[in-house]
Amino acid sequence: MNSRRRFLSLTAAGAVASSAWAARRAELRFNEVEARIARRDFRDLTREDLGTPALILDEEIFNRNIRHMAEHSKSVGINVRPHVKIHKCPEVSKRQVALGAIGVCCATIAEAELFSASGIKGVLWTCQPAGRNKIQRTADLAKKDPTFRAVVDDPRTVDLLEEAAAAVNTKVNVVVDCWAGLERHGCPTGEPALALAKKVDQAKHLKFAGVMGYSGAASHTKGWENRRKKSQEHVVPMVATAEMCRKAGLNVEIITGGSTGTYNIDKEFGLTELQAGSFVFMDTAYIKIGNKSGDAMYSDFGTALTVLTTVISRNHRNIASIDAGNKAMLKPTDAVKGRPDVVVKNQGAEYGLLTWTSGPEIGLGDLVEIYPSNLDMSVNVYDRIYVARGEKIVDMWPIMGRAGAPQR
Ligand SMILES: Cc1ncc(COP(=O)(O)O)c(C=O)c1O
């Protein structure tokens, strides 16, 4: 087989170019590629060797993103406990911990079990356990990992957790989750949250560990000043509640919340740590929220993740079908790497359509990289992240929260 595929060049000009570097080496058969990846031999691998659709992470942009967050947190004096929900990949978190992250936040008990088992200390499960399965697993994880923390927003959960923790003779660290703008979770701030915190503190097998409030409404608010106002509105009552807890003699170890959009805002309002997650990869929706200096684009973090696809049909003028549809991304994308002029027109289950009016041709078999407009929904349909250093594929990180968990 000698049909060398071309890929959209990553140069500023965005011209379609053949990969001269790849052309210099012998082509590998698909099963040899798989065998090489299995033994972690990435020598000479390129995008052209991969099956598509596939997730590609630009190593340089990723490293820049995680370094920027680490440096910011050190310079302003706020901890980072990054959320894993967008990547479910312990390899990502290990690199953040190496740069000073104090743990991770998880959206599901399966993620919490996985990240704890992968050696990460300081796992915070940001969703209240409910139902026998999750309550028992919370107590079991607390027994295995004393650095694990769970959250509650309801006194009934406190009773059930106390019972489950007593049954396995352990103590669960519990953070009180306060309302911070989202209806989906959080106990009302002020007296109700204080009463809940006292109830946790009095439970024999629970340890009150602090207060949480996630202002998801602030995170994607456009314009930095608007975002700051929204964050202030949602975070200040939660931090005031933490202060009430302190005054009542409770030990508030952490005041946790925040997001990628508010990472350079929330220290001012009293959070002790940030739960930001998306900044590691960024998506095309997030970069439109605008930055502190007034630019429409949020340039603090770069878009590091793409979906690599192949052009699979090319019969109509300036229209190319690609092999990435809804099953490959779940939410429609809107941006093609290196070709801002190309529009992603619609997305069926298995197909996407690219259209353009001028500019270089996109031919049958060409490789095209598209940016996800939503990270969670895109990463969630893959088992692997391929790490790219320029043209080379230099690593593969399993998305273990997807494939490795027995139960979400
Ligand atoms: C509870 C919680 N904390 C933090 C985050 C991270 O937010 P972002 O990805 O915007 O940084 C999320 C994201 O949905 C979340 O649900």
Residues 320/334, Cβ–Cβ less than 8 Å: no
pLDDT of amino acid 7: 62
| Predicted confidence (pLDDT) per residue in 330-355, tens digit | 788 889 999 999 999 877 899 999 99
Confidence band (pLDDT; 50, 70, 90) for 9?
very low
Q: CA–CA separation, 346 vs 299, rounded Å?
A: 27
Nearest to 44 by CA among 36, 55, 52: 36
68, 69, 85, 106: residue to mutate for ligand 1 pocket, most atoms within 8 A of CB: 85
For the CA of 86, the nearest atom of ligand 1:
9
CA 109 – ligand 1 centroid, Å: 16
Biggest alpha carbon–alpha carbon distance for the chain = 74
CA 277 – ligand 1 centroid, Å: 6
Residues 86/357, Cβ–Cβ less than 8 Å: no
Residues 330/301, Cβ–Cβ less than 8 Å: no
Q: CA–CA separation, 70 vs 80, rounded Å?
A: 8
pLDDT of amino acid 329: 86
Please say if the pLDDT value at position 22 is more than 60: no
Please say if the pLDDT value at position 275 is more than 70: yes
Please say if the pLDDT value at position 3 is more than 70: no
| Predicted confidence (pLDDT) per residue in 360-400, tens digit | 999 999 999 999 999 988 998 999 999 999 999 999 999 87
- Nearest-Å Rg of the Cα atoms of the chain is 23
pLDDT of amino acid 23: 54
| Predicted confidence (pLDDT) per residue in 286-322, tens digit | 999 999 999 999 999 999 999 999 999 999 999 999 9
Which residues form the pocket of ligand 1, taking CB atoms under 6 Å from any ligand atom?
83, 85-86, 105, 126, 214, 216, 219, 259-261, 275-278
Residue 90 tokens, joined: 């312990």
Q: CA–CA separation, 87 vs 400, rounded Å?
A: 9
| Predicted confidence (pLDDT) per residue in 176-233, tens digit | 999 999 999 999 999 999 999 999 999 999 999 999 999 999 999 999 999 999 999 9
Confidence band (pLDDT; 50, 70, 90) for 173?
very high
pLDDT of amino acid 12: 34
Name the closest-CA residue to atom 2, ligand 1. 214
Nearest to 401 by CA among 62, 125, 168, 133: 125
Cis peptide before 82 (omega within 30 of 0): no
- Average pLDDT of span 65-71: 98
Please say if the pLDDT value at position 407 is more than 60: no
| Predicted confidence (pLDDT) per residue in 199-211, tens digit | 999 999 999 999 9
| Predicted confidence (pLDDT) per residue in 115-145, tens digit | 999 999 999 999 999 999 999 999 999 999 9
CA 275 – ligand 1 centroid, Å: 6
pLDDT of amino acid 345: 86
Q: Count the helices and strands in the chain (H runs, E runs).
A: 13, 19
Enumerate the domain spans of the chain: 7-59+300-403, 62-281
Element (H, E) at 56: strand 54-58
**CB atoms closer than 10 angstroms to residue 9:** 17
CA 306 – ligand 1 centroid, Å: 20
Q: Which CATH class is domain 62-281?
A: alpha beta
Strands of 248-383 (E only): list them: 254-257, 273-274, 305-316, 319-322, 335-336, 343-347, 352-355, 367-371
Name the closest-CA residue to atom 7, ligand 1. 259
Place of tokens 């490795």: 404
Supply φ then ψ for residue 189, to 5 degrees: -70, 170
Q: Confirm or reject CATH 2.40.37.20 for domain 7-59+300-403, answering yes or no.
A: yes
83, 105, 280, 380: residue to mutate for ligand 1 pocket, most atoms within 8 A of CB: 83
CA 14 – ligand 1 centroid, Å: 33
Q: Which residues pair with 388 in a beta bridge?
A: 58, 393
Please say if the pLDDT value at position 250 is more than 60: yes
pLDDT of amino acid 196: 98
Percent of the chain at pLDDT > 90 equals: 84
Estimate the crossing angle of helix 155-167 against helix 132-144, to 10 degrees: 60
Name the closest-CA residue to atom 3, ligand 1. 275
pLDDT of amino acid 331: 80
| One-letter-per-residue 3-state SS of 336-356 | ECCCCCCEEEEECCCCEEEEC
Q: Are strands 367-371 and 305-316 parallel, antiparallel or unpaired?
A: antiparallel
| Predicted confidence (pLDDT) per residue in 82-115, tens digit | 999 999 999 999 999 999 999 999 999 999 999 9
Secondary structure percentages of the chain, helix, strand, coil, to 5: 35, 20, 45
| Summary mean pLDDT of the chain | 92
Quick one: 321 exposed, middle or buried, by C-beta within 10 A (0-12, 13-18, 19+)?
buried
